[in-house]
Amino acid sequence: MSTQFHELSVADITRETPDSVCVAFDVPEALREAFRYKPGQHLTLRTTIGGEDVRRSYSICSGLSEGRLRVGIKKVPGGVFSAFANDNLAAGDVIQVMAPQGRFAVDVSENAANNYLMIAAGSGITPVLSIIRSTLEGEPMSEVTLVYGNRETASIMFREELEDLKDRFLDRFRTVHILSRETQDVPLFNGRIDAARLEKLASAGLIQPGEADGIYICGPGELIDEAADAVAALGADRGRIHFERFTADGTPHKASKAALEAAQKGATVEVILDGVSKNFAFDDPSKKVVDAAAAKGIDLPFSCKGGMCATCRCKVVEGSAEMDANFSLEPWETEAGYILACQARPTSEKLVLDFDAV
Ligand SMILES: Cc1cc2nc3c(=O)[nH]c(=O)nc-3n(C[C@H](O)[C@H](O)[C@H](O)COP(=O)(O)OP(=O)(O)OC[C@H]3O[C@@H](n4cnc5c(N)ncnc54)[C@H](O)[C@@H]3O)c2cc1C
Ligand code: FES
């Protein structure tokens, strides 16, 4: 898994809704292999804004059949990168882009006959759109149902693309638009996506969570938690429910007693990245490994710094560490010793982290 950045130029930018844009990148032949992706994965974009090095994760929204790499970026109030992308980024600009990452993804197989349920809200449609297009085009026997929540019709990202897909795959693609600030003819479709609405959609036969081979949920944290519990209660196998969070819960965490003691005793952290090993003293427990390393001049891979993207994933090969939050590693990974360096502090005097472990 390469966490190197490559320079890509913006091929074009199209306005999706009044507060979102779709950014397409040209991928030169020499970088095609590096940017090969699975539908659902994301890119880390990096640039300098106001003199600051800024990097953020954006899910790929293009389908595998497209030659271009596209991402959809929704402007958030006060947001640094999303405002830059919506207001200043232009065709021809060059952005640093990390190769695709992430496990919220599907393997498309021509012989598969899958039944997918997608649940998305707002900009959460981006990875889901890539999965929908890629599976409908690449798996002729698979079916997809999308439940998509927005405020009103005008704020629906990729509305036309979804309509086109519906026209092309009439018998295999169903969409249910839920709108919170616009009244539709069918009362069931008015409001928010929550447990009660998912239950009613199931009772009406519009979704069948128990029959789904894969359920992919993307949107705000509360929607993910509530929808995942609701579809599980409706018979979905927990192992088939996948989710991608775009935002952290924002709860501040303090270092535990063990982490404070380790820092006081002069803990050292050794990091192994691209086969090279570096050491630094972990003397400030208010920081976590990625920031503590940066303060000592060591650049480790990261993107969201919120425990969501797993770009900073590494394996503890010696010592122990605690994490403040984990929204991306699966139970088998934490059991196998993987941690998120952006969320970790050492709880032992020596901590060795391998960023090359796959
Ligand atoms: C794996 C992953 C994939 C992502 N994919 C996409 C994508 O495809 N499209 C997309 O638009 N975004 C996506 N995001 C979110 C994106 O990375 C940024 O967090 C978002 O664009 C805000 O960045 P910013 O610099 O504009 O805001 P910041 O300057 O970082 O934050 C400004 C304020 O906005 C709040 N905020 C941050 N993100 C959001 C949000 N999504 N909604 C509401 N408030 C927010 C922050 O808490 C803060 O108060 C993804 C995030 C992750 C982790
Ligand atoms: S940088 Fe995203 S999880 Fe650590």
pLDDT value at residue 249: 73
Structural class in CATH, domain 115-245: alpha beta
Query: What is the model's pTM?
Result: 0.95
Residue nearest to atom 3 of ligand 2 (CA): 307
Which amino acid is located at 161 in the chain? E
- Tens of pLDDT along 22-73? 999 999 999 999 999 999 999 999 999 999 999 999 999 999 999 899 999 9
- Tens of pLDDT along 124-154? 999 999 999 999 999 999 999 999 999 999 9
Q: Is the CATH number of domain 257-354 3.10.20.30?
A: yes
pLDDT value at residue 220: 85
94-98 β-sheet, strand order: 52-59, 42-49, 94-98, 5-17, 20-26, 69-74
Q: What is 5-98's CATH number?
A: 2.40.30.10
Of the candidates 168, 85, 74, which has an alpha carbon nearest to the alpha carbon of residue 125?
A: 74
pLDDT value at residue 1: 63
Measured CA to CA, the distance from residue 21 to residue 17 in angstroms comes to: 7
* Domain 115-245 shares a fold with domain 257-354: no
Which residues surround ligand 1 with Cβ inside 6 Å?
42, 56-59, 71-74, 76, 78-83, 123, 126, 244, 246-247, 304, 308-309
User: Would you kindly state where each structural domain of the chain is located, as residue ranges?
Assistant: 5-98, 115-245, 257-354
3-class DSSP assignment, residue 76: coil
Low-confidence ranges of the chain (pLDDT < 70): 1, 250
Cα–ligand 2 centroid distance for 334 (angstroms): 15
